[in-house]
């Protein structure tokens, strides 16, 4: 996808804020002091997108064109381990098609180290980054070569869906806490949600087509209303699951770091 994605910001700023700010409500009582993280996680939910403007290496971390992989097209999965994937597909191919799952993994590892070092101020910013990459992994247009509808004559779908529609309707998405599960295998966990969320791609392209037809071939209010009606079920699900996965990953990193006691006031 490269260059033109620069202007596209995954769930848009509002979407990422919602995903990140809702994550702490999933934490169990022992992580109560994390509740204070909500605001910082929200404020920094789009930091990785902002970095893309100044750091040329940031861009490819926000997506994986999973359908560029023949293995995925044929068997619905790819080689997931970083080294094994590089050996099988080549570093050039991987970089060309985005490094999102491996970036999520390495951000998680940094968080574990910061928890171990009790470096709370840095840990919360890393957790915000982690929530951002998890959010991107729950956005079907960050998982396909047809990320902006060029291949199907639906150019501009990316910002219509993630920014304009989301900004208009995000307040009607409710995120409520629920039981968190332990993560047994990090790489499996991340690829699992990528494979799962990719499946909504076709419904999204179809909704865009239907809405455009019904709105007399214009991207007007009616178009957005129909797009929302057609996609709100799985859109709300993906936003909720992003939040929950962010919480699961933060909690898991904390467990892996030996469950350090979190001070009540961590200085922000």
Which of 6, 4, 11, 7 lies closest to 141, judged by CA? Answer: 11
C-alpha to C-alpha distance for 87 and 32, rounded to whole angstroms: 43
Residues numbered 134-193 forming contacts with Zn ion, rule: CB under 5 A: 136
Q: What are the distances in angstroms from CA 7 to CA 1, 2, 60, 151? A: 12, 11, 13, 19
Among 10, 21, 97, 197, binds Zn ion (CB under 5 A): 10
Secondary structure (3-state) at 32 = helix
Judged by CB under 5 A, the residue of 44, 62, 158, 240 near Zn ion is: 62
Evaluate whether 132 touches 20 at the Cβ level (below 8 Å).
Answer: yes
* DSSP helix/strand/coil, 80: coil
The CB-of-142 to Zn ion minimum distance in angstroms stands at: 7
Asked if 101 and 187 touch (Cβ cutoff 8 Å), the reply is yes
* Per-residue interface string for the shown chain with Zn ion, residues 104-143, x marking contact by CB under 5 A: --------------------------------x-------
Question: For residues 193-232, which are near Zn ion according to CB under 5 A?
Answer: none
Structure tokens at 64: 């994986």
Does position 99 interact with Zn ion (CB under 5 A)? The reply is no
Q: Please state the closest distance from residue 71 (CB atom) to Zn ion, in A.
A: 25
Q: Using CB under 5 A as the criterion, what x/- string covers residues 18-57 for binding Zn ion?
A: -------------------------------x--------
Query: Which residues make up the interface to Zn ion (CB under 5 A)?
Result: 10, 49, 62, 136
């Amino acid at each position: 996808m490269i260059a033109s994605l620069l202007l596209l910001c995954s769930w848009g700023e509002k979407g990422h804020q919602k995903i990140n700010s809702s994550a702490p409500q999933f934490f169990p009582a022992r992580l109560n002091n994390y509740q204070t993280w909500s605001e910082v996680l929200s404020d920094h939910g789009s930091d990785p997108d902002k970095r893309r403007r100044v750091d040329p290496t940031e861009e490819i971390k926000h997506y994986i064109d999973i359908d560029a992989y023949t293995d995925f097209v044929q068997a619905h999965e790819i080689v997931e381990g970083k080294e094994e994937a590089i050996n099988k597909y080549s570093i050039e191919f991987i970089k060309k098609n985005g490094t999102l799952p491996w970036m999520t993994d390495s951000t998680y590892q940094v968080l574990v180290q910061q928890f171990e070092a009790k470096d709370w101020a840095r840990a919360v910013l890393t957790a915000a980054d982690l929530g951002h990459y998890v959010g991107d992994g729950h956005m079907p247009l960050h998982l396909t070569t047809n990320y902006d509808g060029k291949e199907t004559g639906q150019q501009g779908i990316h910002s219509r869906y993630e920014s304009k529609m989301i900004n208009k309707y995000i307040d009607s998405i409710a995120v409520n806490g629920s039981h968190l599960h332990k993560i047994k295998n990090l790489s499996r966990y991340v690829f699992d949600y990528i494979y799962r969320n990719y499946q909504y791609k076709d419904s999204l392209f179809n909704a865009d087509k239907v809405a455009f037809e019904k709105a007399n071939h214009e991207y007007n209010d009616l178009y957005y209303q129909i797009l929302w009606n057609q996609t709100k079920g799985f859109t709300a699900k993906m936003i909720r699951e992003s939040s929950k996965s962010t919480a699961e990953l933060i909690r898991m990193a904390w467990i892996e770091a030996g469950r350090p006691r979190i001070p009540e006031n961590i200085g922000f």
